[in-house]
């Protein structure tokens, strides 16, 4: 009789681990969900409370002040498309989802990137982790998030945060590694405190690379929009999913183009800010 080969299934160990986490840290996960839902609700209300024309005017004014006329006109056109396509609410929900995700991704990635740039052991640990995170398909991040936080907007934001961390973390580390040593030595020679060196020398010098990292984080987060719709996150991803499941090609096409409009809007605004800030930094 031939021996039965032993089979190994990761699910045999992951399922009990998820059950243990849910049983022992349910309060923590509930608190995280409450915080994320509260912040997301505030951002959504801020975007949906004013009339669409009022919000468009505010964005146009801010774009004109912080970027240039070309970006301002482009932003107005993208917002107008979201409005006249009948997907204004879904578009604002998507922008809120991406905004909160990017904010939390940056809050996690920035300090880790600074630490990795200054401590080689931390960098050596993070590099293989980032390689794995950027290799794993984005929808895989939704599986543990849904298991721990159930369906809804919270697992979508958690998965988006994890997916958006690697580019911001890598470019933050790169920005601080490439800082001119003579500027740092000058600050130390003048007796500046580490806090002053960070905020007055390091951050202004690293600003262009950091803004590129922010831009990449935004675009990576937008890549999760459609997948987030599969787990009940709402927004344009839900409209695309609804169009596909109901075979409403018109709705699916409009929602897809609205996602492109939102992506181009955020991309041009962040790039315009980058181009506007770079000369100031160099000066």
* 230-277 pLDDT per residue, tens: 777 777 777 877 777 777 777 778 888 888 888 888 888 877 776 665
Q: What is the pLDDT of residues 139-193, one digit of tens each?
A: 777 777 777 777 778 888 888 888 888 889 999 998 888 877 777 777 777 766 7
Domain span including residue 130? 25-282
Q: What is the pLDDT of residues 7-22, one digit of tens each?
A: 545 555 566 777 777 7
Residue 211 half-sphere exposure, CB side, CA atoms within 13 Å?
A: 20
Does 103 fall in a domain? yes
Identify whether 5 is part of a domain.
no
Give a yes or no: residue 49 inside a domain. yes
Q: Is residue 15 part of a domain?
A: no
Distance CA 193, CA 153 (A): 42
Question: What would the pLDDT profile of 213-223 be if each residue is shown by its tens digit?
Answer: 888 888 888 87
Contacts of 232 (CB under 8 A, 6+ apart): 151, 152, 153, 156, 238
Report if residue 6 sits inside a domain.
Answer: no
CA distance linking residue 283 with residue 272, whole number of Å: 18
Q: At what angle do helices 249-282 and 235-245 cross, to 10 degrees?
A: 150
CATH, residue 41: 1.10.3720.10
- The number of domains in the chain is 1
Q: Is 206 contained in some domain?
A: yes
pTM, full prediction: 0.81
The answer to whether position 13 is within a domain reads no
Q: What is the DSSP string of 33-73?
A: HHHHHHHHHHHHHHHHSS-HHHHHHHHHHHHHHHS-HHHHH
Judge whether 3 lies within some domain.
no
Backbone angles phi, psi at 6, to 5 degrees: -75, 135
Q: Which residues of 163-178 are buried (b: 16+ CB within 10 A; e: fewer)?
A: bbbbbbbbbbbbbbee
CB atoms near residue 234 (< 10 Å): 19
Is the CB of residue 148 less than 8 Å from the CB of residue 18? yes
> Quick check: 190 and 200 in contact, CB under 8 A?
no
Closest CA to 59 of 41, 82, 38, 36: 82
């Amino acid at each position: 009789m031939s021996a039965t080969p032993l089979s190994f299934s990761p699910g045999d160990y992951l399922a009990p681990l998820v059950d243990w986490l849910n049983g022992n840290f349910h309060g923590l996960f509930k608190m995280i969900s409450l915080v994320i839902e509260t912040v997301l609700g505030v951002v959504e209300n801020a975007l949906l409370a004013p009339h669409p024309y009022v919000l468009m005017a505010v964005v146009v004014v801010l774009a004109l002040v912080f970027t240039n006329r070309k970006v301002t006109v482009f932003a107005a056109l993208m917002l107008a498309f979201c409005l006249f396509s009948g997907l204004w609410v879904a578009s604002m929900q998507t922008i809120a989802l991406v905004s909160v995700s990017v904010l939390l991704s940056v809050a996690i990635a920035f300090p880790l990137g600074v630490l990795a740039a200054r401590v080689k052991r931390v960098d050596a640990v993070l590099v293989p982790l980032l390689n794995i995170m950027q290799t794993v398909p984005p929808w895989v991040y939704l599986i543990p998030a849904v298991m721990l936080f159930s369906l809804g907007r919270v697992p979508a934001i958690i998965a988006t945060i994890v997916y958006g961390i690697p580019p911001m973390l890598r470019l933050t580390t790169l920005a601080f590694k490439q800082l001119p040593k003579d500027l740092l030595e000058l600050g130390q020679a003048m007796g500046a405190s580490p806090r002053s060196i960070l905020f007055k020398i390091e951050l202004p010098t690293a600003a262009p690379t950091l803004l590129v990292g922010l831009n990449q984080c935004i675009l990576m987060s937008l890549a999760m929009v459609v997948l987030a719709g599969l787990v009940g996150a709402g927004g344009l991803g839900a409209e695309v999913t609804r169009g596909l499941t109901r075979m409403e090609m018109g709705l699916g096409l409009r929602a897809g183009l609205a996602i492109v409009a939102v992506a181009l809007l955020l991309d041009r605004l962040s790039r315009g800010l980058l181009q506007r800030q770079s000369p100031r930094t160099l000066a």
